[in-house]
């Protein structure tokens, strides 16, 4: 593998002169780290997940419930240009419903799943204590075009459609769906 990319709440970026706040911030790498350099924290609160690079490596897309950028209360999709320091967060989802699983397509558009087609409010979280559960909300897939600021439903269908990703050659989109009465992968 030519490059190792890691993103949870940090990303590798070009080295720039440190701001006073960055100089005072603790290091994000462990002593003895040999694989990661120029680590920069991109988010500073809330739950931020599923960050993916665009094909150029200059932008990321991720979901967040961080109240500083998302007062709505449940996950929404944000795009961030890595050259912006400090980060400027651009919400690209509608601000309604719950969103998940955003991913850049080869042409720069972004596919993600949202419940906003069913309800503007956040769906009720599951009530299981002591273990992680992924609820199968009524998500539909949407394609957002940042060039035109337009959003289009992609193969709408009742039930769960989410977790979309693109094949390495860009020919297929695969996602998880309840189509056909069971949960499983669908490729288009």
pLDDT in tens, 25-53: 567 888 888 888 888 889 999 999 999 99
> Where residue 132 falls among pLDDT bands split at 50, 70, 90?
confident
Confidence at residue 78, expressed as pLDDT on a 0 to 100 scale: 98
| The pLDDT of residue 98 is above 80 | yes
Mean pLDDT of 139-162: 96
Among 11-20, 60-69, 132-141, 179-188, where is mean pLDDT lowest? 11-20
Confidence at residue 25, expressed as pLDDT on a 0 to 100 scale: 55
Give the alpha-carbon dihedral of 183, 184, 187, 188, to 10 degrees: -10
Phi, psi for 184 (deg, rounded to 5): -175, 175
Cα–Cα distance between 104 and 151 in angstroms, integer?
14
On the 0-12 / 13-18 / 19+ scale of CB atoms within 10 A, 104 is buried
Domains in the chain, start-ordered, CATH in brackets? 10-126+135-187 (2.120.10.30)
Confidence at residue 11, expressed as pLDDT on a 0 to 100 scale: 37
> Could you tell me if 110 and 130 are in contact, meaning their C-beta atoms sit under 8 angstroms apart?
no
Confidence at residue 26, expressed as pLDDT on a 0 to 100 scale: 64
| The pLDDT of residue 118 is above 90 | yes
Q: Express as a percent the part of the chain with pLDDT over 70.
A: 86
């Amino acid at each position: 593998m030519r490059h190792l990319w890691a993103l949870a709440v940090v990303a590798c970026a070009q080295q720039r002169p440190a701001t006073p706040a960055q100089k005072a911030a603790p290091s994000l790498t462990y002593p003895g780290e040999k694989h990661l350099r120029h680590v920069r924290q991109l988010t500073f609160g809330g739950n931020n997940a599923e960050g993916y690079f665009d094909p150029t490596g200059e932008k990321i897309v991720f979901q967040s419930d961080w109240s500083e950028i998302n007062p709505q209360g449940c996950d929404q999709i944000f795009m961030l240009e890595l050259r912006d320091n400090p980060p400027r967060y651009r919400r690209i989802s509608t601000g309604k419903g719950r969103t998940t699983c955003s991913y850049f397509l080869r042409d720069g558009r972004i596919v993600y799943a949202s419940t906003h087609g069913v309800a503007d409010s956040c769906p009720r979280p599951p009530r299981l204590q002591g273990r992680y559960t992924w609820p199968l909300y009524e998500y539909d897939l949407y394609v957002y075009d940042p060039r035109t600021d337009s959003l289009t439903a992609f193969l709408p269908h009742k039930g769960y459609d989410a977790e979309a990703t693109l094949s390495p050659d860009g020919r297929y989109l695969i996602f998880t769906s309840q189509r056909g009465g069971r949960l499983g992968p669908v490729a288009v």
